[in-house]
Structure 1
Amino acid sequence: MKKIKVVFFIYQLGSGGAARTLLNIVNNIDRGRFEPVLVTLNYEGNYEHYLHEDVPLIKLPTRRLRSAIIPLSRVIRRESADIVFSTIPNYNTIALLANLLSFTKAKNIVREAAYLGGSFSSNLKLRVYGMLYKFAPRVIALSQGVKDNIVKRYKVNPEKITVIYNPVDLETIQSNAINGEMQKEDQVIFHSEAKTIVTAGRLVADKDHKTLIKAFSKINQKLNVHLFILGEGDLEKELKQQSEQLNVQDNVHFVGFQKNPYVYFHHADLFVLSSKREGFGHVLAEALATGTPVVSTNCKPGAVEVLDHGTYGKLCEVGNADNMADAIYEVLTIDDSQREQMVQKGLKRAQEFNAQDIVKQYEEVFVQHANQRTRDRM
């Protein structure tokens, strides 16, 4: 039987959640039935070294997204793609237009990963995306909340939307967590008497590290504790200044992007997510998979769904430093038996996002629409 050729398109295989999701799908898709090809713009992505060697990586001769339409259309035609898969609205737009210009029978599958909209201008923009999504026979939402938002703000028919949670590569995460090594200067603190808190994500406003640092300053008055912030972004200088103003600069560590963040998660006493909103909260599932208790804002829709309204981790209010500090302090001071209960519940929840199981759901969608392509040819 002829394998189904799937062209995956993303801006770059960088350090964001979308790249991790795409990587997990590409690496775990059944090679007996599918032939994946990954296409990016002309960038060196942080996650490229994790891409399995049998997956062709094609870099388009441009770094501008809008300039990618024509070269991507040529790749779609040259590769005789059955499916063109993309994620995030801007990239979906390019993939849809490129596929139209390829003059092939390839089918677009687009994925929505974020809970977008709210203002008049952003809602209007989402309506435009929704009009373009008419050219895609299937839209994948990474949570029920994201699906509801697509229906409400993009005006997409709910019958063409499928909810598929993010795939989490449990085997790789747990192996890296146990066998990896953190930076030597950080090992000293993790092996000391101090409590350790870890967070990971881009240093941007939506991740709201400011509230986390403010909450940490309150915890720091009660406990011997250190905060490790993994990630890069425009707000790094501003966040460091905030740490100095709150006089916690010696206990707040900005360690930048880490190829293996899971060793930090695994050895931490607590993982904290302070986001204002998350479509899914992929990093929460990863933290649970490393056996680390979690505190998260009740940012909707993702974090609430991942933690099932607080069943698998402690929730606190978005932007409320006092409430966050109380939640963090409560988890850091529970006894060993309570902590173990949290860990085991978290590991059980992480199993529900196992990449091998989640990717089968993607495979079903690809097969369905690849078969439709075959019928279109006949």
Structure 2
Amino acid sequence: MKNIVLIMPYGSVGGMERLALTFYNHYRSKGYNVKAIKLIKLKTDIINFNDNDEYFLSDKDFYELNPLKRVLFYVLAPFKIRKILKKENATHSIAFGDMANIFSSLTFTKENKISSIHALKSVELNDNNSFNKLIRFSYKKLYGAFNKVVCISNDIKRDLIENCGFKFPEKIEVIYNPHNVNRLVELSEESIDDKEELELFSKKTILFIGRLSVQKSPWHLIKAFHLLQQKSVDANLIFVGDGNMAVTNYVKELANKYNVINNIHFLGRKSNPYKYLKQANVLALASHYEGTPNVIVESIAVGTPVVSSYCTDGIIELMSLQSHDVKHDNVFVESGIVTPNLYKGTLGIPKKDVSIPEEEKFADALEYALESTKLKDNLLNERDKLLNKFDVEVVSEKYLNIK
């Protein structure tokens, strides 16, 4: 009997948390014993597990902890996770993201240990703060504790080895994120019961799903939407998800500055974001860096075209059946449009509101997605081929298959 413990940062609507829930449901359907550990459990959690299957290390977010308590959390976390792994007689553990990976590597337990890396790390670690130094140190010293290190795209694997000093390349396996497509489609067919929310989709809509964070750089999306409004394109821009309050406040200030706030709507966290995705004309991602965003696969599954910036080669792995070089111009692919990279070498909320040509390219792509049915028609024709490599049955067993 397999006893599997999943270790994740939060219970939010983020990609890693949704991935953990997919694994949880699938492994339980196979008859395995599955438990989940959240590093942080909040009252606003969207991703939840059966009461008897869920553990957590803290019910306060990091920003609520004073420096001493935060240090204490970091020191005690591996010991708390070790205790749970022992209690559950874990045969396998799967950690999602850097913090969970580091804590898992320090438990010194003997189960089959699997870690996973979900983003282009050379960009994410560009800021030389103390936490990023710890992550770089872990790539050189701690990841030897794992039986397998999963990278969710070939580009992430390449970047990890070439740019991040990762010292255990023999442990890396590229495995795409699994998706239960039938379940996604089923959830997308649910009705939007809130009349005010439903009314938003009575006009053309651009949808963002995920955490409002520096990584996602949603200010580019606001500025591209402003350019659309200048072209007299009548549309709504809808955000589903929450996140960094400083980012959220900046985005709202920018929307007010450009006088587009009346057509921008923040719906917050949603337990079923897929019914909103189904109703939208286009999903938009203007990220500075990504791995292979789950929401793109989810959008393909429900038949909604995608406009995404070229934030990593992994975007092409998701959105197309062939390779493409995206440098200066928009590229049409099977699931939508990929626009030139928006990242200009500096992470963080912009200190100055400076427009860049790539935002105009992004706006052009959004306009095409809203005004033409060709993207959706092409996506529906290629949907099954695009989704083949994300089959939950195949992917979930790849994780557990230790060589």
- The TM-score normalised by the length of structure 1 is 0.86
Contact 2:237 2:263 in 1 (8 A): yes
2:147 is equivalent to residue 169 of structure 1: no
Alignment of 1:155-304 (within 5 A): 155-181=166-192, 183-191=194-202, 194-221=203-230, 222-233=232-243, 234=245, 235-304=247-316
Aligned partner of 1:132 in structure 2 is 142
Match of 1:113 in 2: 118
1:62 Cα deviation after fit: 6.9
Report if aligned partners of 2:155, 2:312 keep a CA contact under 8 Å in 1. yes
Amino acid at match of 1:232: D
CA deviations 1:144-175 (Å, max 9, x no partner) are 11111222214233221111111122122211
Q: 1:139 to 1:237 in 2, by over 3 A?
A: same
Provide the C-alpha distance between the structure 1 equivalents of 2:255 and 2:365, rounded to a whole number of angstroms: 20
* 1:29 is the counterpart of 2:27: yes
Contact 1:167–1:354, Cα closer than 8 Å, also in 2? yes
In 2, the alpha carbon distance for the partners of 1:10 and 1:300 equals: 23
Q: CA deviation at 1:346?
A: 3.8
Count of matched residue positions in the alignment of Structure 1 and Structure 2? 355
1:171-212 per-position Cα deviation (integer Å, ceiling 9, x unaligned):
222111111325321211313xx2111111211222111111
Q: Contact between 1:190 and 1:196, CA under 8 Å: does it hold in 2?
A: yes
SS of aligned partner of 2:189: helix
Matches within 5 A, 1:39-54: 39-41=37-39, 43-44=41-42, 46-49=45-48, 51=49, 53=50
**Kept after mapping to 2: 8 A contact 1:293/1:346:** no
CA gap 1:41/1:278 in 2 versus in 1, 3 angstroms: closer
- 2:53 partner amino acid: P
**Structure-1 separation of matches of 2:375 and 2:89:** 55
Report if the CA contact (8 A) 1:170-1:351 is conserved.
no
Match of 2:340 in 1: 317
Say if 2:391 is the partner of 1:354. yes
CA drift at 1:35: 2.2
Q: Distance in 2 between matches of 1:62 and 1:225?
A: 39
Structure-2 separation of matches of 1:66 and 1:18: 23
Q: Distance in 2 between matches of 1:13 and 1:338?
A: 33
Deviates more, 1:5-14 or 1:255-264: 5-14
TM-score, normalised by the number of residues in structure 2 = 0.81
C-alpha distance 303-182 of structure 1, shift in aligned 2 (>3 A): farther
Deviation track 1:290-337 (CA, whole Å, cap 9, x = no partner) reads 110111101103322211343322011232210001111122222x45
**Would the aligned equivalents of 1:190 and 1:268 in 2 still touch at CA under 8 Å?**
yes
Moved more, 322-331 or 68-77: 68-77
Shift, 1:55, TM fit? 7.0
Q: Distance in 2 between matches of 1:295 and 1:182?
A: 27
What letter is aligned with 1:329?
A: E
Please, what is the CA RMSD of the aligned residues? 2.3
Q: Tell me: CA distance 1:342–1:8, structure 2 relative to 1, closer, same or farther (3 Å).
A: closer
Pair 1:48–1:261, CA change in 2 (3 A): closer
Q: Is the 8 A contact 1:117 1:126 kept in 2?
A: no
Could you tell me how far 1:11 is from its partner in structure 2? Answer: 2.8
Alignment gaps of 5+ in structure 1: 369-378
Flag the 1:303–1:90 CA change in 2: closer, same or farther, 3 A: same
Q: Equivalents in 1 of 2:166, 2:47: separation in Å?
A: 35
1:371 corresponds in structure 2 to none
CA–CA distance in structure 1, aligned partners of residues 151 and 21 of structure 2: 17
SS of 2:176's equivalent in the other structure is coil
Amino acid at match of 2:54: L
Alpha-carbon offset, residue 111 of structure 1: 0.9
Q: Relative to structure 1, is the Cα distance of residues 281 and 48 closer, same or farther in structure 2, using a 3 angstrom cutoff?
A: closer
Number of the residue aligned with 1:12: 10
1:59 equivalenced with 2:56 (yes/no): yes
Partner Cα separation in structure 2 for residue 250 and residue 61 of structure 1: 38
Give the conservation status (yes or no) of the 8 Å contact 1:291–1:347: no
> 1:348 and 1:183, CA in 2 relative to 1: closer, same or farther beyond 3 A?
farther
Instruction: Specify which of 353, 364, 370 is matched with residue 326 of structure 1.
Output: 364
Task: Give the secondary structure class of the aligned counterpart of 1:179.
Answer: coil
- Per-residue displacement from partner, 1:34-66 (whole Å, max 9, x unpaired)? 3222122462462344x3x49722234675344
SS at match of 2:158: helix
CA contact (8 A) 2:149 2:172 kept: yes
More displaced, 114-123 or 72-81?
114-123
Cα distance between partner residues in 2 of 1:13 and 1:279: 20
Instruction: Name the aligned partner's letter for residue 339 of structure 1.
Output: K
- The alpha-carbon distance between structure 1 residues 289 and 120, as it changes in their structure 2 partners (threshold 3 A), is closer
- SS of aligned partner of 1:36: strand
C-alpha contact (below 8 Å) 1:278/1:301 kept by paired residues: no
Q: 1:126 to 1:42 in 2, by over 3 A?
A: closer
Change (3 A) 1:267 1:33: closer
Q: Which residue of 1 aligns with 2:68?
A: none
- Go from structure 1 to structure 2 and tell me whether the alpha carbon gap of 1:121 and 1:231 turns closer, same or farther (over 3 Å shift): same
- Name the stretch that deviates more: 248-257 or 34-43: 34-43
